[in-house]
Chains A and B, each alone.
Chain A
Amino acid sequence: MDTLYLDNAATTPLHPRALAAMMPFLEGKFHNPNSIYGPARAVRQAIDEARAVVASAVGARADEIFFTGSGTEADNWALNGTLTASPEKRHIVTSSVEHHGVLYTCRALEKRGYDVTYLPVDSDGLVNPDDLREALRPDTALVSVIMANNEVGTIQPLTALSEITRRNGTPFHTDAIQAVGHIPVDVNELGVDMLALSAHKFGGPNGVGALYIRKGTPVFPLIYGGAQERGRRAGTENAAGIVGMAEALSLTIGEMPHEQPRVTVLRDQLIAQITKKIPHVKINGHPTKRLPGNVNISFRFIEGESLLLHLDMQGCCASTGSACSSGALEPSHVLTAMGLPHGLANGAIRFSLGCGNTDADIGRLMAMLVPSVERLRAMSPLYDDFLRKGEK
């Protein structure tokens, strides 16, 4: 049974050309790039070239890109490093629909005495710039708003938000981990001071990410040690990972002009098929300001995990919201912030399409989904109650 992989927002398969680019650094070119001899200088040069590729992919300068061990580390660094650099400032503004990498960092900072304002979102998951304007205080150290949400795919109006912070010089960070490689990202158009990205979301390897830090933004290190990354992120560089990330990013940016519209069409086909063939569903997230591959749907009267298990038994990989919270009992904080009642939030499934998916996959999924939803509804007491009320 061929696996039907529809969980590209959790992680993507490693691109064969990224793997090929990595191999020399896993085999012969093992040398520490911080050493002085010739073979080490070759590794250093490969890292520098990769930095230039990643920088140009997001419209930054090479000396504004710092490699990290993950996107989550980049988020942690942006928040903690900014606060450490401005100890007199005690307030953070973020959204109520952040990935856990930012959300749980903020919760930890609250325990350390910081004030955090969580901006509300509308029913599509969008932050209102007026709410940001009202939330800013003289002691606001930074604003962090996710560029594109990992669960529902909603793309935030970052340019409008960063215009507000720019006026009083408050640093603006964005978690762009779901966006980079999928939609155009330019740090100057967005007006952001920091931006986190992660290689394994666009065909690169796990275990490597990057933080963009605009020149002049005060950010202290998160990790101390050697002088790697110009003294701002210690730890011997993951040369293979960094080279693999740059290769994958370069490929995905090159393919974006045709892949972005192609995947968007697939997404809209899937949404149209589900809403046509399955009654009592709700599409979560914005209809158009949405990541090309994201489909998040609540199936009324059934619980998300039971549907995922059914799909799993038929070889389909999908997710309930965030991959990180599978196994959690709490309904998604993102769907709850968007005002979904618990019943609908518990029945939400995320299908995330990627470059490996075709329209044949949509047909395969529908052939599994329709009978699975019917079977689970047939055993649902909530569906019984609904039918009885309907008859009255």
Chain B
Amino acid sequence: MEYSQKVIDHFMNPRNVGEFENADGVGTVGNEKCGDIMRFYIKVKDGVITEARFKTFGCGAAVATSSIATEMVRGKTLQEAVLISNKAVMDALDGLPAAKAHCSCLAEEALHAALRDYAQRSGVSIEGLKPAQVKDHGH
């Protein structure tokens, strides 16, 4: 199994690790049993994601997908962010080994969980937002 240079870069030098004291949306997905847990934090201003941070327990691919997803959502409107697919995350990393493809789904789910949290708190509706998965930890 081999990771791309981009995956290794994002794993060894992850961008935007951490949290916000006053995040506008927080979402946690995954569980210890499956081996990966992602927590995604977003700051939103005027319908635009100004910043995103993450904390992840997981393999190299899980950390790398979280890291690149925080870069991909920055500056996007909520409506644009909701359209970021797991495939887009994977492509941005120059691909993932087949056994690790599920990590990119987890990144998409974590983003959606954070957007759901924001939508609920602020009472806005975001078209195309996916419903919570059973394995969500919730917040």
Contact = CB atoms under 8 A, between A and B. Distances in A.
Contact of A326 (B1, B19, B28, B36): B1
Nearest to A303: B58
Given A302-B57, A303-B59, A381 B38 contact: yes
B35 A306 contact: no
Contacts of A12: none
A166 interface: no
Contacts, number: 64
A384 B18 CA distance: 10
Interface string A299-330: 00111011001100100000000000011110
Interface residues of A toward B: which range? Answer: 20 to 34
A191 interface: no
Interface string A342-376: 11001000000000000000000000000000000
A159 interface: no
Interface residues of B, number: 28
Interface string B20-56: 0000000010001111111100000000000000111
Counting chain A CB atoms within 10 Å of each CB, which of B32, B55, B56 scores highest? B32
B56 A380 contact: yes
A258 to B, nearest CB: 39
A343 to B, nearest CB: 4
Interface stretch (B9-17, B85-93, B116-124): B9-17
The binding surface of chain B is classed by DSSP as mixed
A223 interface: no
B75 interface: no
B72 to A, nearest CB: 18
B43 to A, nearest CB: 18
B83 to A, nearest CB: 25
Contacts of B33: 342
Contacts of A382: 32, 37, 57
Nearest to A346: B35
A329 B34 CA distance: 8
Nearest to B14: A379
Interface in A273-313: 301-303, 305-306, 309-310, 313
A378 interface: yes
A331 interface: yes
In order of increasing CB-CB distance, the 10 nearest A-B pairs are A305-B59, A343-B32, A381-B39, A381-B55, A327-B1, A309-B60, A380-B57, A342-B33, A379-B17, A382-B57
Interface of A: 301-303, 305-306, 309-310, 313, 326-329, 331, 341-343, 346, 378-382, 384
